[in-house]
Amino acid sequence: MNALRNFIQAHPRLAVLTGAGVSTSSGIPDYRDEQGEWKRARPVEFRPFMTDPKVRQRYWSRSTVGWPIISRAQPNDAHRALARLEAQGFVQLMITQNVDGLHASAGSRNVIDLHGRLETVRCMECDHALSRADLQRQLLASNPGWAEIEGRVAPDGDVDIEGRDYSEFLVPDCPQCGGILKPDVVFFGETVPRERVDRAFDGVAKADALLVVGSSLMVYSGYRFAEAAAAAGKPIAAINLGRTRADHLLALKISEPCDQALSQLPLSGRSPAGVRQR
Ligand SMILES: [Zn+2]
């Protein structure tokens, strides 16, 4: 993996953008195939979730099955390698599109969770926050029988359990005001908070280069950072199985599993003195 090592040593202040491909080796399959097409049903969208109680029943029933898988997932070699690169001073900023929290679990410190994290749930009326683990206990207590169901999980905690009747599923309301509870993640059709986007753009602007790991960049909320890096003349490298939307912008493309490509990266020592900015 000399090409990747050379890229990092030539651009020792990296901004890193990660996607679902980083977490597949942790048992969380990604959304898209090698052509960048959906492998499964599209994730839930914001407006239907907010306006249709049936959509919320479907979401929370499937999430009740998916949450144990997400919450048990452990970081893999890719998460650990990126945390190590940060500790060595090569990574200025991590921007992740994942909502599983595994970069933090692996020890990465400077992470922007672009699309939020599944571990928190928020009321859309009064902004009351509660932990997903607490809500899970309530979901299971209100819906006995759903604890035993198994399915194939997706990066957003959704699972495929087609054919299962959820019309009787009881969806908890906000304990403070009775409002609609929603996981503290950015759904499709929802906008990423401006402050978060600005911090990410700022990180890309201060970096020498952008390293994309495990993302097809098919969603604009991630692709725009590749666009910004390219517009600023910063080289972009990508580790991804299959095509990415930014293939035409890449200086280096590595078509390997993320953990495999990154774990072959025994960079010796720290980045050049004085480069580290904290
Ligand atoms: Zn509330």
pLDDT 10s digits, 113-123: 999 999 999 99
Q: How far apart are CA 103 and CA 110, in angstroms?
A: 10
Ligand 1 mean position, distance from CA 261 (Å): 45
50 alpha carbon – ligand 1 mean position (Å): 14
How many CA atoms lie within 13 Å of 160's alpha carbon, on the beta-carbon side? 9
Helices (H), the chain: 2-10, 46-51, 53-72, 77-87, 102-106, 132-142, 194-206, 220-231, 258-263
Calculate how far, in angstroms, residue 56's C-alpha sits from the geometric centre of ligand 1. Answer: 16
Q: How far is CA 132 from CA 40, 83, 98, 157, in A?
A: 24, 25, 16, 11
CA of 181 to the centre of ligand 1 (A): 8
Amino acid, res. 122? R
Buried-exposed string 84-106: b where 16+ CB fall within 10 A, e elsewhere: bbbebbbbbbbbbbbbbbbbbeb
pLDDT tens track for 179-222: 999 999 999 999 999 999 999 999 999 999 999 999 999 988 89
User: Which listed residue (11, 103, 115, 248) is catalytic?
Assistant: 115
Q: How far is CA 111 from CA 79, 85, 196, 221, in A?
A: 12, 13, 11, 16
Portion of the chain with pLDDT greater than 70, in percent: 91
| Entry pTM | 0.89
Query: Is the Cβ–Cβ distance between 30 and 110 less than 8 Å?
Result: no
Is-catalytic flag, 115? yes
Confidence band for 51, pLDDT divided at 50, 70 and 90: very high
